[in-house]
Amino acid sequence: MTQAEESRFSERAKELIQQLTLEEKVGMLHGAQLFCTAGVERLGIPPLHMSDGPMGVRNEICGDHWEPVGLPDDYVTYLPSNSAVAATWNRQLARDTGKVLGEEARGRGKDMILAPGINLKRSPLCGRNFEYMSEDPCLTRELAVPLIEGIQESDVSACVKHFAVNNQETERLQVDVKVSERALHELYLPAFRACAKVSYSMMSAYNRLAGEFCSQSKALLNDLLRRQWRYHGVVVSDWGAVHDTQLTAESGLDIEMSVTDNFDQYYLARPLCEAVRAGKVPEYLLDEKIERILVLMQKLHMLDGEERKPGCYDTAAHQLAALQTARESVVLLKNEDNLLPLPKKKLKKLLVIGDNAICAHAPGGGSAEIKALYEVTPLLGIKSVLGGNTEVRFARGYCPDTDGEQNCT
């Protein structure tokens, strides 16, 4: 974006801010639904619609509770995980993956897709490692930037997460991360800094850093992100990561999202109105946040009346792009005696062992879950490739524990 465009967007945002009431400002700073903020209809300011989506746009969730809407119109392309994208070492495939994600988010009516995840892999016990790219900050940076650029081609904002040092799930809501300045700036921050140059938004982390919650950390969000890096994009909290009204209002965070349906009671909701009226929080801090949100909306052509890209989802071209990335992500480390590929014509019997051979993974994974119209399990894929001339047998090989019941076959 040129400096002239930035200036024009900023001026228009300030004009709109002058017309907003305190309540309208506050409504734009917190979730009015689980994945949506409030708009201001009288001024033509729409709500900001978000969705999870490292591996595809999440299935539609009810506005005030965590149940799927349940309609069959939200099936999307099942994209390779961020780990798989990184395993390609291919910037173009990363961009292509981002383009698919952006087009499908826009096709589903979303303004912001909560991706990519770029925290470094530091613990094998972190259950979200598949959402992140790598343990290497250079590889993460080189693949995350084109992925973001691909997303944002479709008038959709990427939202890089989780800023910062969110490298474990154990006690993730309150763990206090201790890290040296050298390790912080040489390992954990470089990818975020590179992404901050291109990404329209960023998500703050749950954890503490040096005693401060990341979502209200002045050292992280004000001094580093806003002043040193000169980041002017929107910062969104992870869902339920805000803990204090005044400290958060004074920080560089713009939008509070959470997991509960008491939207008016969020820290940046009614309590923020009360804090402003009581003189505890100056209203100009709200104006700074609103300005960043309105500038973002203009970048996405949400305010200017221009034709916005419509997007699309679950197309054959998208499935092909996902397949190409998946193919290049596979790394064969060893192939003794040229065992692979298996000789299809000579193969009479094949035994497939392991419960993952029959599991569909798209519906699982928390914030990475989606409804995939097209997912091939390993067993299905093997049988489809080999055809009827090979007898393919399956054995679980172990007893998966499902709600306390053990079933072995």
Task: Please give the positions annotated as active site.
Answer: 238
Q: Are 14 and 20 contacting, i.e. CB atoms less than 8 angstroms apart?
A: no
CA dist., res. 322 & res. 312, Å (int)? 15
Q: How many CA atoms lie within 13 A of 137 on its CB side?
A: 15
**3-state class of 147 per DSSP?**
helix
User: Please, what's the b/e burial string for 315-347 (b: 16 or more CB within 10 A of its CB; e: otherwise)?
Assistant: eeebbebbebbbebbeeeeeeeeeeeeeeeeee
Sequence-distant (≥ 6) Cβ neighbours of residue 151 within 8 angstroms: 98, 99, 101, 102, 105, 113, 115, 157, 158
Residue 201 C-alpha from the chain's centroid: 10
Which two tokens mark 242? Answer: 């805000």
Sequence-distant (≥ 6) Cβ neighbours of residue 279 within 8 angstroms: none
CA dist., res. 246 & res. 150, Å (int)? 36
Q: Are 148 and 116 contacting, i.e. CB atoms less than 8 angstroms apart?
A: yes
Question: What kind and span of H or E run contains 330?
Answer: none
Q: Closest by alpha carbon to 116, among 76, 87, 144, 80?
A: 144
